[in-house]
């Protein structure tokens, strides 16, 4: 039985989490779910965005399912990634038939370094303005690039693209680019190339089929994965995994969406696919495949879809339909 920490969080996080748990219980895999709080509402209620009890639960569980955080995201999800040393953030960008995807043949993975870059949260103010510190290390760059190439091999992908801005940020991104090619030399069966981040943003719109695996630093990966969501039909379809050597956390890419919270309009698919990625991490590949096929079937049938996908069904209805199609 797998011990899973469940942190629904804020806004639509609670709604989509309920749907994902329902689908997981329909797989037949045995779970023990333990719930804890974090986020804006938690800060208001108890004075902490990420209480010690929640962090302790996350550290002793086999995996963590996280819903969404609002204004306290940096204090919750970023801290969880750092505390658990979840250095690799995986964000798949895949088009499903019958959605608002710009192209119907997109399938690539963004592998994002998760522990440093601009998101270390070291900022200061002075009389002239403000400063943010950006940290890029050889160790973290090597680790994330190595992960990306290993991922390419294990999933049968053929190319890894390193993304940076070394022409301007010559030292920090220069280090990342240099490390990328040092790692690439160890994987001669995998094609490697690099692009500037601004060029990558354009190529995601003009030739997304080119990409297999993208590996990049923290901020760039965050921005590019949201662009990726846009080209395949919206944030409601994009899951993510945060992987470390001793643990993992799974969350949808979307935020807490306070404008639709409590209205049962939220698309649970990103959360459900995040749960699917958790099953893959746990080695329950057949159940993960069953969820993926059920999601595809429901999307293709078009009978039960949430408003963001052109339907008028509720969050619960969509999740129930996916569960029924397992």
How far apart are the C-alpha atoms of 54 and 40, rounded to whole Å?
14
Q: Give the C-alpha separation, 144 to 136, whole Å.
A: 12
Give the β-pairing of 107-113 and 123-126.
Answer: unpaired
Q: Are 131 and 124 in contact (CB under 8 A)?
A: yes
Closest CA to 6 of 292, 24, 264: 24
* Residues whose CB is less than 8 angstroms from the CB of residue 223 and which lie 6 or more positions away in sequence, other chains included: 197, 201
Positions marked catalytic: 119, 165, 198, 222, 226
Residue 44, Cβ density class (10 Å: 0-12 exposed, 13-18 middle, ≥19 buried): exposed
Are the beta carbons of 208 and 103 closer than 8 angstroms?
Answer: yes
From CA 308, how far away is CA 263, in angstroms rounded?
13
């Amino acid at each position: 039985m797998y011990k899973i920490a469940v942190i629904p969080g804020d806004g639509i996080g609670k709604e989509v989490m309920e749907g994902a748990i329902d689908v997981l219980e329909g797989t037949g895999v045995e779970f023990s779910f333990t719930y804890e709080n974090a986020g804006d509402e938690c800060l208001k209620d108890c004075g902490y965005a990420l209480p010690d009890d929640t962090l302790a639960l996350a550290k002793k569980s086999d995996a963590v399912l996280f819903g969404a955080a609002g204004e306290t995201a940096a204090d919750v999800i970023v801290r969880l990634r750092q505390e658990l040393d979840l250095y690799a953030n995986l964000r798949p960008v895949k088009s499903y038939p019958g959605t608002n995807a710009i192209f119907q043949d997109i399938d690539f993975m963004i592998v994002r370094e998760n522990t440093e870059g601009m998101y270390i949260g070291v900022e200061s103010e002075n009389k002239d303005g403000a400063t943010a510190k950006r940290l890029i290390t050889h160790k973290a760059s090597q680790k994330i690039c190595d992960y990306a190439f290993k991922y390419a091999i294990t999933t049968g992908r053929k190319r890894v693209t390193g993304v940076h801005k070394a022409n301007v940020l010559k030292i920090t991104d220069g280090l990342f680019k240099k490390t990328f090619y040092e790692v690439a030399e160890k994987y001669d069966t995998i094609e490697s190339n690099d692009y500037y981040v601004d060029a990558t943003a354009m190529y995601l719109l003009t030739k997304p089929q080119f990409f297999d695996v993208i590996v990049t630093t923290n901020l760039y990966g965050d921005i590019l994965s949201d662009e990726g969501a846009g080209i395949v039909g919206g944030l409601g379809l994009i899951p993510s995994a945060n992987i470390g050597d001793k643990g993992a956390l799974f969350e949808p890419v979307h935020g807490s969406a306070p404008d639709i919270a409590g209205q049962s309009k939220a698309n649970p698919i990103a959360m459900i696919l995040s749960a699917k990625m958790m099953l893959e991490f746990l080695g329950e590949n057949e159940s993960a495949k069953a969820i993926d096929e059920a999601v595809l079937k429901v999307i293709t049938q078009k009978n039960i879809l949430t408003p963001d996908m052109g339907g008028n069904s509720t969050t619960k209805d969509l999740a129930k339909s996916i569960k029924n199609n397992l």
